[in-house]
Amino acid sequence: MASREVGIALLGVGIVGGAVARTITEQGDVIEARTGIRLVVRRALARSRERVVQAGLPPEVATTEIEEVVGDERVDVVVEAMGGEEPAATYLRRSLEAGKHVVTANKEALAKNFAELAAAARASGRALLFEASVGGGIPLMASLRQILADNRVTRIRGIVNGTTNYILTQMAERRTAYAEALREAQRLGYAEPDPTADVEGYDAAYKLAILASLAAGRHIRPEQVDRTGITGVTPEQVAEARARGGAIKLIAGAELDGEEWRLRVAPEFVPGDHLLAHVRLNFNAVEITGDRVGPVVLYGQGAGPLPTASAIVSDILDAARFGAALTPHIVPQMSRT
């Protein structure tokens, strides 16, 4: 089989971007043998050349200028792993307008700009793929896409933040208080030095908004999620839940109520006879309910460099093979006024 080259640009070469670079280097031959596609990193946007070299990439691919990325004709797919809303969202839009396929791991930029980015992708006939933005290596988007082929999705419910699940697991199993469990999570690298986005439920709200937008086919914004974090969960509540055979979990839930979606992120008691009660440490699980298929549960590592890079590489290959065919239709939120 004759191979074809697919040029990649990385925006951000941190934990995830670096792992994508290493996966392409280490797995490139296997990927080529399986798919006939040779992945080649042509550009890597980073604040320092050092990061690019540390990721095993040649120094000449390093750039600090987005225009050098979008203006490079050898770049077919732009992979964004910078994080934060801006400048990431602008870079994603510029890449799509310049005719690049886009793959992103950035839940915040996507959740806040989903309709605009999907429209830009459709206008330019390019792929907008984001498997890594929710559930790391768990194939959630691919599963949702498959379920949505002939189902109406009526409910999504899950544990989508590994940091808070790690903390709640430690509180339950080691009988530690919240602050101590948080410190342990930070020491092990499961929690950021500033843990606000995780422990206050913002990260879970972004992820829920993305999943619900796909199910609804319209842009559901993170502000529409009724959000409570885990900072108020007490050791007593955790111990009581355990005594009842269940667990307190930070549950991200979206439910169709008539034509309205009800969206909530909050710590909840999960009875012991439900799968979600048994999701431990930094693992994630999401239950998707379709009106024909019934409930489907997906479980796995919701973060980490290798699982996340695996989802990104799969998206890159899908973008190269199927182009705009996999870009979702997300219409803007209708005004209520």
Q: How far is the CB of 244 from ligand NAP (least distance, A)?
A: 32
Q: Which is nearer to ligand NAP, 16 or 159 (CB)?
A: 16
Known catalytic residue at 107: no
Q: Which is nearer to ligand NAP, 64 or 234 (CB)?
A: 64
Q: Which is nearer to ligand NAP, 6 or 303 (CB)?
A: 303
Q: Which two tokens stand for residue 159?
A: 């544990």
Q: Which two tokens stand for residue 323?
A: 């182009």
Q: How far is the CB of 82 from ligand NAP (least distance, A)?
A: 4
Q: Are strands 247-257 and 283-290 parallel, antiparallel or unpaired?
A: unpaired
- Please report, as ranges, the residues that interact with ligand NAP according to CB under 6 A: 12-17, 45-47, 51, 81-83, 87, 105-107, 132, 136, 303-304, 308
Q: Which is nearer to ligand NAP, 16 or 256 (CB)?
A: 16
Cα–Cα distance between 335 and 185 in angstroms, integer? 41
Q: Which amino acid is at 56?
A: G
Q: How far is the CB of 213 from ligand NAP (least distance, A)?
A: 17
Q: Which is nearer to ligand NAP, 184 or 268 (CB)?
A: 184
Q: 293: burial class by Cβ within 10 Å (0-12, 13-18, 19+)?
A: middle
Name the residue among 200, 219, 241 with its Cα closest to residue 110: 219
Q: How far is the CB of 87 from ligand NAP (least distance, A)?
A: 5
Cα–Cα distance between 178 and 126 in angstroms, integer? 45
- In degrees to the nearest 10, what's the CA dihedral of 231, 236, 238, 244? -150
The 3-state DSSP class for residue 273 equals coil
Tokens 């930029």 map to which residue? 109
Give the CB-nearest residue to ligand NAP: 14
Q: How far is the CB of 21 from ligand NAP (least distance, A)?
A: 11
Q: Which is nearer to ligand NAP, 17 or 253 (CB)?
A: 17
Cα–Cα distance between 227 and 97 in angstroms, integer? 34
**The one catalytic residue among 107, 112, 207, 249:** 207
Q: How far is the CB of 302 from ligand NAP (least distance, A)?
A: 7
What number of other Cβ atoms are within 10 A of residue 146's Cβ? 14
Name the residue among 209, 210, 217 with its Cα closest to residue 329: 217
* Residue-level length of the chain: 337
Question: Hey, which residues are catalytic here?
Answer: 207
